[in-house]
Amino acid sequence: MEAASHTGFIVAAYATAGAVIGGLIAWVMLDYRAQRRRLGDLEKLGLKRRSATAQSGETIGRAGT
Amino acid sequence: MAVIDLANPSRFLGFANRIIPWLGALTLVVFAFAISRAMNAPDDYQQGATVKIMYLHVPGAWLGMLGWGLMTMAALGTLVWRHPLADVAAKAAAPIGAAFTFICLVTGSLWGRPMWGTYWVWDARLTSVLVLFLLYLGVIALWRTVEDPSRAARAAAILTLVGALDLPIIKFSVDWWNTLHQPASVLRLGAPTIDPSILIPLLISALAFTLLFAVLLLAAMRNEILRRRVRTLRLLQASTAS
């Protein structure tokens, strides 16, 4: 068995899997930050979902008012 | 808390926020152990060191199929019970399942070249896994094309149920047709045909990949719930402004 000649295939397989998994983790983390930021920006405008309003007993705010 | 309570998106968010850090840490530990076991596993008497590719290829294949299996159950949840968390689970699982199927295809190709003398053959097993990958891309494209999440969910659910026919074809392709790919050697009637010195690291690797899949799915579902809340607030903002 020509072990040395196969090292490249093994390294390429692990590098590809590492890159794909790293990409997935990065995508999930960056997406989480982006959604939290967007939600925070909208809530700063006084907007609340109906269910959240019902829980807190507050009224629905208007954007920019 | 009963499992059914998690069907409420707000309760699911609380559960996900609590469990993701712990499950992530456990995944990291099991992955480190799995890599250590894979690197120290003996070479195969026929395939030599290339058997190390199996520790990526087989879990990739299993999780690619598991992802579609979960999406199929979620599709039933969407079409029968119209549960919003089923839509969320199906949408979140698609890119993760696609990524694991991609790992399966690429590592299989890199394993095939030194063992079979070719990167690719159009045999039943390889082709049916490629079809699964294309189905994943189709579902992802469908979710991105249809703007209304509930309409997109119904269309994606139908495609998912049709695509589920590919799962038994993948599993039994090596029995039904004469393929270059080896027959089942772990999940089969009777004992596995792999030596324990190679089988145990493979099972540990599969556990690590499964934990990773679970963490990524929970995190992606959390993101999707937040994305829908953002969409709801933007619609509310537009309606109050007009």
Q: Is A2 helix (H, G, I), strand (E, B) or coil?
A: coil
Model pLDDT, residue B3: 58
Model pLDDT, residue A61: 35
User: Is any Cβ of chain A less than 8 angstroms from the Cβ of B21?
Assistant: no
**What does pLDDT average to over chain B?**
91
Model pLDDT, residue B189: 59
d(CA B4, CA B15): 12
> Residue B95 and residue A23: Cβ atoms within 8 Å?
no
User: Is the pLDDT assigned to residue B203 strictly greater than 90?
Assistant: yes
Nearest-neighbour CA in chain B from A13: distance (Å): 5
ipTM: 0.88
- For residue B155, what are the domain limits? 9-179+195-241
Model pLDDT, residue A58: 41
Per-residue pLDDT tens for A1-21? 455 678 999 999 999 999 999
The verdict on residue B151 lying in a domain is: yes
Per-residue pLDDT tens for B161-181? 999 999 999 999 888 887 778
Mean pLDDT, residues B211-225: 97
Q: What percent of chain B has pLDDT over 90?
A: 68
Q: Burial, B105: exposed, middle or buried (Cβ in 10 Å; 0-12, 13-18, 19+)?
A: buried
The verdict on residue B190 lying in a domain is: no
d(CA B162, CA B138): 12
User: Is any Cβ of chain B less than 8 angstroms from the Cβ of A37?
Assistant: no
Model pLDDT, residue B6: 64
Per-residue pLDDT tens for B35-60? 999 988 888 888 888 999 999 999 99
Backbone angles phi, psi at B48, to 5 degrees: 65, -145
The verdict on residue B188 lying in a domain is: no
| Residue B79 neighbours by CB distance under 10 Å | 15
User: Is the pLDDT assigned to residue A26 strictly greater than 70?
Assistant: yes
User: Is the pLDDT assigned to residue A65 strictly greater than 60?
Assistant: no
> Residue A3 and residue B43: Cβ atoms within 8 Å?
yes
User: Is any Cβ of chain B less than 8 angstroms from the Cβ of A19?
Assistant: no
> Residue B48 and residue A49: Cβ atoms within 8 Å?
no
**Number of domains observed in the structure of chain B:** 1
